[in-house]
Amino acid sequence: MTTAPQPTPSPTTTRPFSISDIARAAARVLGDSWAAGKSNWETAGYLRGPFHTQFVLETDERQPDEGGDLRLTYTPHPADRFTTAPVLPDEVAEDEEGVHFEHASPVDGIDSLAELTAATIRAITTPALPEPYNPAPGSEYPFSVSDIARAAAHQLGDGWSAESGPWGVTGTVSGPYNAKFTMAVDYDNDLCISWDRFVGDGFPEHPELPESVCDYDDGVYLELAAACDGLEYLADRSAAAIRAVTGYNPDDYDFESSASRQHHADTGRYLRKGEAESA
């Protein structure tokens, strides 16, 4: 009795899809910015997306006796900044050239294998978290608001001084007036100069403010001022603002006579010229 020969199965019945088919299906799952190419004989698929890194989907033929795992190989490009510890899907394991799917099989179907491939690529391409910004004390903001106040007082000249507020977050500038000028950063991150109005100070009713110095209810603020402008520049702007709102002219004050010097020692203010004689 002779045995009838078994029919040779057609390629489409033994392997209804190729690895490159899986790659193309995974690209569709990943979205419009992804595309896939294929190798000769469609034994590998190449996936490219919005990164420098290319992914290769292939079988691991290093262990042919085990049938060869489906694997995804890639060499991360430094510019992509992928995380070094991706959270991979279940049964996807890292190896020296990428990852491999430990129990994947053609019987899983192309859709399932494409979803697994796409999920793995999403995990791998997760951007690395930036290193926490932790500057050394004093390096991020090398000067305080009170430093600006002291530098401004120095710019204004004789008869002016400044005191620091708690923690240096405010500074108060004093001169030959009853009003004291407090510098602080408000909730809008503007560097502000505020003061109480005293009739006896005789400040101009409508002062001509320097460029980019603006009025607000309690005083003036320096528009677009920032720490990166530097201490001297901010001090210059602050001193110019105080000169404008006070109408200060050093020529109006007596910095030389013993009476004016004694008055400054007693009160912190110099006398105007002529006041010593009339006192």
Give Cβ neighbours of residue 224 (< 8 Å, ≥ 6 apart).
Answer: 212
d(CA 199, CA 251): 21
Q: Name the more confident of 116 and 252.
A: 116
Q: Euclidean distance between the first and final Cα of the chain, in Å?
A: 143
Q: Name the more confident of 16 and 233.
A: 233
Is residue 41 scored above 80 in pLDDT?
no
The predicted-structure confidence for 240-260, as pLDDT tens digits, reads as follows 999 999 988 878 777 778 887
Alpha carbon separation from 186 to 198, 220, 222, 225 (Å, rounded): 23, 11, 11, 12
Give Cβ neighbours of residue 30 (< 8 Å, ≥ 6 apart).
Answer: 47, 49, 118, 121, 122
Predicted local confidence at residue 8, as pLDDT: 47
Predicted local confidence at residue 205, as pLDDT: 86
Predicted local confidence at residue 273, as pLDDT: 72
Residue 64: pLDDT band (50, 70, 90) is very low
Predicted local confidence at residue 225, as pLDDT: 93
Sequence spans of domains, the chain: 15-124, 145-248
Residue 114 in contact with residue 29, Cβ under 8 Å?
yes
Q: What 3-state class would DSSP assign to 146?
A: helix
Q: Name the more confident of 23 and 4.
A: 23
Q: What 3-state class would DSSP assign to 70?
A: strand
Predicted local confidence at residue 56, as pLDDT: 95
d(CA 273, CA 261): 12
Residue 9: pLDDT band (50, 70, 90) is very low
Residue 4: pLDDT band (50, 70, 90) is low
Predicted local confidence at residue 230, as pLDDT: 94
Residue 184 in contact with residue 169, Cβ under 8 Å?
yes
Predicted local confidence at residue 276, as pLDDT: 60
Predicted local confidence at residue 138, as pLDDT: 82
Q: Find how far residue 102's CA is from the centre of its chain.
A: 40
Which pair of tokens denotes residue 32?
Answer: 């419009």
Q: Name the more confident of 149 and 274.
A: 149
Is residue 7 scored above 60 in pLDDT?
no
State the average pLDDT for the chain.
86
pTM, two decimals, is 0.55
Q: Name the more confident of 132 and 101.
A: 101
Predicted local confidence at residue 178, as pLDDT: 87
In this prediction, residues 189-216 reach a mean pLDDT of: 90
Residue 49 in contact with residue 29, Cβ under 8 Å?
no
Predicted local confidence at residue 110, as pLDDT: 94
Q: What percent of the chain has pLDDT over 70?
A: 89
Q: What percent of the chain has pLDDT over 90?
A: 57
Residue 28: pLDDT band (50, 70, 90) is very high
In this prediction, residues 108-135 reach a mean pLDDT of: 89
Is residue 44 scored above 80 in pLDDT?
yes
| Rg of the chain (C-alpha set) | 38
Predicted local confidence at residue 66, as pLDDT: 52
